[in-house]
Amino acid sequence: MLKRRTIRDLGTLAGVIVIIVGIALFKGVTERGDLAARATAWRTSMEQEREQMGLDIMSWSLLQRTRGNQRTGPTFAPELLEYRDSPINIIGFMVPLYEFRQAKEFLLLPMPLECYFCMMPPMRDVVFVQMAPGEEAQVVNEPVLINGTLELNEGEGTKFFYVIKDAKWGPGDESLRLTPQQVTPEHMGHALGAQEEEELLEGYEPPSFSPQGMPHGMPGMPQGLPPAAPEQPDSGS
Q: Name the band, by pLDDT with cuts 50, 70 and 90, for residue 3.
A: low
Domain region containing 80? 40-196
* Residue at 203 is within a domain: no
* Residue at 55 is within a domain: yes
pLDDT in tens, 32-50: 568 888 999 999 999 999 9
- More confidently predicted of 116 and 102: 102
The phi-psi region of residue 183 (left if phi > 0; otherwise alpha if psi is between -120 and 50; otherwise beta) is: beta
Give the per-residue SS3 of the chain: CHHHHHHHHHHHHHHHHHHHHHHHHHHHHHHHHHHHHHHHHHHHHHHHHHHHCCCCCCCHHHHCCCECCCCCCCECCHHHHCCCCCEEEEEEEEEECCCCCCECEEEEECCCHHHHCCCCCCHHHCEEEEECCCCCECCECCCEEEEEEEEECCCCCCCCCEEEEEEEEEECCCCCCCCECCCCHHHHHHHHHHHHCCCCCCCCCCCCCCCCCCCCCCCCCCCCCCCCCCCCCCCCC
For residue 199, what pLDDT is reported?
A: 36
* Residue at 15 is within a domain: no
Q: What is the pTM of this model?
A: 0.69
- pLDDT tops 50 at residue 217: no
- pLDDT tops 70 at residue 17: no
* Residue at 149 is within a domain: yes
For residue 204, what pLDDT is reported?
A: 41
* Residue at 10 is within a domain: no
Q: Which of 157, 158, 159, 170 is CA-nearest to residue 131?
A: 170
For residue 2, what pLDDT is reported?
A: 54
For residue 231, what pLDDT is reported?
A: 46
- pLDDT tops 70 at residue 16: no
* Residue at 159 is within a domain: yes
pLDDT in tens, 138-193: 999 999 999 999 999 999 989 999 999 999 999 999 888 899 887 555 555 544 54
Q: Which burial class, exposed, middle or buried, applies to 52 when counting CB atoms under 10 A from its CB (0-12, 13-18, 19+)?
A: exposed
Query: How many domains does the structure of the chain reveal?
Result: 1
- More confidently predicted of 29 and 159: 159
The domain that holds 131 is classified in CATH as 2.40.50
* Residue at 150 is within a domain: yes
The most confident of 9-13, 68-72, 218-222, by mean pLDDT: 68-72
pLDDT in tens, 83-113: 999 999 999 999 988 877 889 999 999 998 8
Averaged pLDDT, 121-150: 95
Q: What is the spatial distance between Cα 23 and Cα 101, in angstroms, rounded to a whole number?
A: 39
